[in-house]
Amino acid sequence: MSRLQVWWTQYLVGTVELDRNERMEFIYADDWLGFPSAFPISLSLPLRAEKYHEQAHSFFANLLPEADVRVRLCQRLKVTPGNDFELLRLIGGECAGALTLGDTPPANPSSTADYRPITSEQLRLWSLSNAPDVFSSTVGRDGVRLSLAGAQDKLPVRLDGNATSLPLGPAPSTHLLKFASPHFKHLPENECLLGMIAGKLGLPVPSADLWRPEGGGTILVVERYDRRQEGAKIVRLHQEDFCQALGRSPLRKYQKEGGPRPGELAAIVRTHGSLPVVDLRLLVSWGLFNWLFGNCDGHAKNASLLLSPDKGVRLAPFYDLVCTRVYKSLDRNLAMSFGRQFDPGQVLRRDLEEYARELQVGPRLVWGALEEQLDRSETAIAAGCEEFVQRFGDSPILEMVSQQLAKNLKRARNTLR
């Protein structure tokens, strides 16, 4: 029987196995269940002695890359694209959250032997928009076992001063490099700018930077919120996205295809959150931001929870914020609805009121958060663009996004009237 061990630092948490239908199942280790600091790896997988079946497959499958990135990776590694277990075996050394998967526990995370330097020339080649897929061409060979969910081309790395290196085996990373796309112009700049605007509106977002290697393109550099530096040591913090917390397959991340609804996210925060009042308001603000600021890809895998023995369950900083509306080839509908309305241009007062009822919050909370974002939007956009220019210089994305946001906000103000 195929098996894969799951580790938290040096402790064996449990074992992933394949059942007769080639689906992953998971059982907690007896020692872990007796460990005073033991925690459940997911809200959908509470601590118990009995084996988990379908919920386990959903949790672990959600750690893996998706779409074209996954297809290209599987082609290179000679793995059937639907073989989640084999893919985890090959690349599950450094995943989102605090867990590592492998036959042996991870080595000392501060060991420099677990990293390979990345040259400036390599960064330049990766930054080119016509470069081959960076993730699939790097991961799964020569000791590189990195896994990240999502369809975007990105790579976990360690930054140490001016040095950039590639984690080997289960060595932890500190940042994500997100690369230019041949299909969507100025994508790193777009995400960087929208994150700045979100931060100025009070939404928690990860720290981000833009690198422009000489003779190359642009790379977005995002600090990992699920890692913490303690001297020379990198500490993994546990997290899971809402598909994992709800036991939902990554094939069902969009609401229209059976993925989580806003109310299901709110129910998780209300039931398990350590500060539910604060995080429910943040969840409302995130949904409104996606509508007002043109991020139509705000699905359940683009929102996560941090799970801490000390601080409990809290919303993680919001990530993958992109003004997708500037790209005409992308779906114009929202990933999550307001009531029954997915079309951002058709959201009316009654849809927002239904949204409040679904989240089980007072309408005043939704109206207050909406009015606050509308009142502060022009200042936040101007300040975000100014900071962008000061730090990185001019970019066509500034005009592209600003024009789109002006249309969105005008329409939303008419909705309020």
Tens-digit pLDDT profile for residues 68-90:
899 999 999 999 999 999 999 99
Instruction: Single out the residue of 172, 158, 21 nearest to residue 95, CA to CA.
Output: 172
Which parts of the chain have pLDDT scores under 70?
1, 107-113, 129, 131-132
Q: What is the pLDDT of residues 227-254, one digit of tens each?
A: 999 988 899 999 999 999 999 999 999 9
What pLDDT does 152 receive?
86
Element holding 155 (H helix, E strand): strand 154-160
Q: Structural domain boundaries of the chain?
A: 3-101, 112-234, 238-416
> How far is 181 from 274, CA to CA, in rounded Å?
38
What pLDDT does 107 receive?
67
Instruction: Single out the residue of 387, 413, 384, 391 nearest to residue 203, CA to CA.
Output: 384
Burial 197-206 (b: 16+ CB within 10 A, else e): bbbbbebebb
| Contact status, residue 287 vs residue 302, Cβ threshold 8 Å | no
DSSP 69: H
Q: How many CB atoms lie within 10 A of CB 47?
A: 13
What pLDDT does 143 receive?
87
Among 114, 153, 279, 297, the active-site one is 297
Q: Say how many residues make up the chain.
A: 417
Strand order in the sheet with 24-28: 24-28, 11-18, 3-8, 99-101
pTM of the model: 0.95
CATH class of the 238-416 domain in this structure: mainly alpha
Q: Which residue has the tokens 């975000």?
A: 384
133 has catalytic annotation: no
Instruction: Single out the residue of 152, 161, 160, 226 nearest to residue 191, CA to CA.
Output: 152
